């Protein structure tokens, strides 16, 4: 092969060539024809797209990821060095170069890019729930407690900052709105929120920075739009705060189904998450509990409450009893706003249609038109519904994908996660009901049973003794040639076919049943 031939063939992968070389070289002409054929074949594979929820999962993981763990692990470096030195001197022959990390590639020079080793397990994608220290300068520091598990309760309500202004125990004038719009360092709970934030710009609610959820759905500002919001500040080390938890739980139950959202923001950077959750469980508190956050405005001691109106304006800040009255009254008034004026009636109708399987594309289009409305309340509600619609559609796709990959548990988990995202909302109630229905669905139970049967048969295959093939990789087990394995394969296949046919019969008409039937037929 000449240099010209080699150059030509190396460039074949890059697409159509203008090189005249093949006109004079028969072998390269043949290679060109082959390349056209190979490219056409590869094009037939097409480019696949991952499911749209992947982006959400990754960005959520990124959002919840702690800062680099290097500073915390720096102490390991000298320790590892010392251990390596010790090993070097103690273990004979350990000074030799370590074997090359195994992999499919043949040896070659290591590239000069910085790449992590292949050995260690990847960083866990499960986001740890951070407990950020609350960025609320006017709030007094929590009572120091030596043992967070058994904190000493402090008598009476905690006093506010001595030098700060007293918390106003009367309705705040709605005109006093902070200038800073909601711009959290973590970003809003869900990406497509700029329009939503714009609709609340300038209101008191917009300058609220929500902390990380310890319990309940994160919600984000989108879930607060157009609702009466009561935020309770409390501290698990404060006796008065803890004493109010049952009252909070009762208020949460009373306001269920009303356009009122209760948030409990716990402020105690030294407290353990478990302690907070224990208190919530003991008091029956099921609303969202957030760790930290940022509330602009005057100083607050704990326990203290702030009530925001459906238009995002601050209605009250002070004690819980008064706040509950204000919130309940505002929530009673809110339905009149929602159903009395035509835009809200239309939007609520639209929401109901979306839930009933209304054409999502058409609904999204209609909602996007509402985003251009002049009324900020209408814009906010449209944005909230649009956000819900997008999440709903994404979760549906995720669920369909999970069912397609024969993972009914994954599908159910996706549905439950979605239901918890919208808990307390009409969509959430419907989704919870659907999740319960799916959990009890006999077809899906049968599907799970069939999968368990497959697992069992697979375990039997792996447990077959005295066969070297079993020490090989799992994929090869299906292609073993030894007599024992072949007969077991037949047995496994027959069992599977039977189980799948049975499943297809019982789950007829469902995606799981269709898939089982196709698989059984294909064997």
Partner 1 sequence: MLRAQAGDRGAFAVLFERYEKPIYNFLRRLGMIPAEAEEGTQEVFLKLWGRRAQYKPGGPFRVYLYRIARNHRIGQLRRPPMDSRRWLASRQGQGAVADPAEAVSLGELGGKVHDLLGELPEGIREPFILRWMQQLPHAEVARITGLTARQAEDRAAAGFERLASRLRPAAGRKA
Report 453-472 residues binding partner 1 (CB under 8 A): 454-455, 458
Q: Which is nearer to partner 1, 47 or 150 (CB)?
A: 47
Which one of residues 91, 110, 175, 179 is an interface residue with partner 1 (CB under 8 A)? 110
Residues in contact with partner 1, total (CB under 8 A)? 80
Which one of residues 97, 115, 147, 179 is an interface residue with partner 1 (CB under 8 A)? 115
Min. distance of Cβ 16 from partner 1 in angstroms? 13
Which one of residues 20, 46, 93, 98 is an interface residue with partner 1 (CB under 8 A)? 46
Give me 178's structure tokens.
């902070």
Min. distance of Cβ 478 from partner 1 in angstroms? 5
Residue 130's contacts (CB-CB under 8 Å, 6 or more residues apart) are 64, 66, 212, 291
Which one of residues 473, 481, 483, 509 is an interface residue with partner 1 (CB under 8 A)? 473
For residue 509, state whether it binds partner 1 (rule: CB under 8 A): no
For residue 123, state whether it binds partner 1 (rule: CB under 8 A): yes
Which one of residues 19, 34, 345, 490 is an interface residue with partner 1 (CB under 8 A)? 34
Which one of residues 58, 84, 86, 129 is an interface residue with partner 1 (CB under 8 A)? 58
> Which DSSP symbol is given to 211?
E
List residues bridging with 234 in a β-sheet: 266
For residue 493, state whether it binds partner 1 (rule: CB under 8 A): yes
For residue 97, state whether it binds partner 1 (rule: CB under 8 A): no
Angle 53-399-122 (CA atoms, 0-180°, nearest 5)? 50
List residues bridging with 294 in a β-sheet: 209
Order of strands, edge to edge, in the sheet holding 209-215?
A: 209-215, 288-294, 260-266, 228-234, 304-308, 314-318
CA dist., res. 185 & res. 509, Å (int)? 48
For residue 494, state whether it binds partner 1 (rule: CB under 8 A): no
The burial class, CB within 10 Å (0-12 / 13-18 / 19+), for 421 is: buried
| Residue with the two structure tokens 């037949």 | 490
For residue 26, state whether it binds partner 1 (rule: CB under 8 A): no
For residue 70, state whether it binds partner 1 (rule: CB under 8 A): yes
Burial 361-371 (b: 16+ CB within 10 A, else e): eebbebbeebb
Q: Which is nearer to partner 1, 257 or 474 (CB)?
A: 474
Binding characters for partner 1, 182-201, by CB under 8 A (x = yes): -----x---x----------
Q: Per CB under 8 A, which region of 10-18, 273-281, 309-317, 372-380 contacts partner 1?
A: 10-18
| Residue with the two structure tokens 């189904």 | 257
Site for partner 1 in 348-407 (CB under 8 A): 401, 404-407
Omega within 30 of 0 (cis) for the link into 303: yes
Which one of residues 2, 4, 27, 59 is an interface residue with partner 1 (CB under 8 A)? 59
Distance of CA 207 to the CA centre of its chain: 24
Tell me what percent of the chain is helix, strand and coil, each rounded to the nearest 5: 55, 10, 40
- DSSP for 148-210 reads SSSPPPBSSPPPPPSSSPPPP-SPPPTT---SS----TT--SSSS-HHHHHHHTTSTGGG-EE
Binding characters for partner 1, 140-179, by CB under 8 A (x = yes): ----------------------------------------
Min. distance of Cβ 447 from partner 1 in angstroms? 12
Q: Per CB under 8 A, which region of 64-72, 164-172, 245-253, 256-264 contacts partner 1?
A: 64-72
Which one of residues 22, 61, 171, 213 is an interface residue with partner 1 (CB under 8 A)? 61
For residue 3, state whether it binds partner 1 (rule: CB under 8 A): no
Cα 226 to Cα 172, 286, 347, 383, distances in angstroms: 19, 21, 12, 10
Min. distance of Cβ 450 from partner 1 in angstroms? 9
């Amino acid at each position: 092969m000449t240099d010209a031939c080699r150059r030509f063939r190396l460039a074949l992968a890059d697409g159509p060539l203008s090189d005249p070389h093949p006109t004079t070289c028969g072998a390269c002409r043949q290679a060109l024809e082959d390349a056209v054929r190979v490219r056409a074949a590869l094009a037939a594979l097409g480019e696949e797209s991952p499911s749209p929820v992947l982006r959400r999962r990754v960005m959520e993981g990124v959002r919840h990821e702690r800062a680099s763990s290097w500073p915390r692990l720096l102490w390991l470096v000298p320790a590892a060095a010392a251990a390596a030195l010790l090993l070097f001197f103690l273990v004979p022959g350990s000074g030799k170069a370590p074997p090359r990390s195994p992999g499919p590639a043949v040896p070659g020079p290591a590239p000069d890019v910085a790449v992590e080793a292949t050995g260690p397990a990847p960083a866990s994608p499960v986001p740890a729930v951070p407990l950020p220290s609350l960025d609320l300068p006017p709030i007094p520091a929590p009572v120091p407690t030596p043992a967070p598990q058994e904190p000493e309760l402090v008598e009476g309500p905690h006093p506010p900052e001595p030098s700060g202004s007293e918390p106003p125990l009367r309705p705040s004038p709605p005109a006093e709105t902070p200038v800073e719009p909601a711009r959290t360092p973590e970003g809003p709970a869900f990406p497509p929120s700029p329009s939503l934030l714009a609709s609340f710009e300038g209101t008191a609610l917009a300058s609220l920075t929500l902390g990380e959820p310890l319990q309940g759905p994160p919600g984000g500002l989108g879930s607060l739009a157009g609702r009466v919001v009561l935020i309770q500040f409390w501290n698990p080390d404060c006796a008065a705060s803890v004493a109010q938890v049952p009252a909070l739980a009762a208020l949460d139950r009373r306001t269920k189904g009303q356009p009122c959202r209760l948030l409990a923001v716990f402020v105690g950077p030294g407290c353990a998450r478990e302690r907070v959750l224990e208190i919530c469980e003991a008091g029956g508190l099921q609303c969202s509990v957030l760790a930290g956050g940022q509330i602009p405005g005057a100083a607050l001691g704990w326990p203290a409450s702030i009530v925001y109106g459906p238009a995002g304006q601050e209605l009250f800040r002070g004690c819980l009893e008064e706040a509950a009255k204000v919130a309940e009254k505002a929530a009673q008034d809110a339905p009149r706003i929602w159903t009395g004026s035509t835009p809200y009636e239309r939007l609520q109708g639209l929401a109901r249609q979306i839930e009933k399987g209304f054409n999502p594309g058409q609904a999204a289009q209609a909602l996007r038109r509402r985003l251009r409305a002049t009324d900020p309340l209408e814009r906010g509600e449209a944005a909230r519904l649009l956000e819900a619609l997008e999440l709903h559609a994404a979760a549906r796709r995720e669920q369909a994908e999970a069912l397609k990959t024969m993972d009914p548990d994954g599908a159910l988990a996706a549905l439950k996660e979605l239901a918890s995202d919208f808990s307390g909302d009409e969509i959430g109630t419907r989704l919870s009901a659907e999740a319960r229905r799916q959990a009890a669905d006999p077809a899906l139970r049968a599907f799970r049973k069939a999968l368990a049967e497959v697992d069992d048969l697979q375990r039997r295959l792996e447990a077959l003794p005295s066969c070297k093939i079993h020490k090989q990789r799992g994929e090869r087990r299906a292609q073993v040639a030894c007599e024992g394995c072949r007969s077991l394969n037949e047995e496994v296949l027959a069992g599977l076919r039977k189980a799948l046919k049975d499943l297809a019969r019982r789950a007829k008409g469902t995606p799981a049943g269709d898939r089982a039937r196709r698989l059984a037929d294909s064997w």
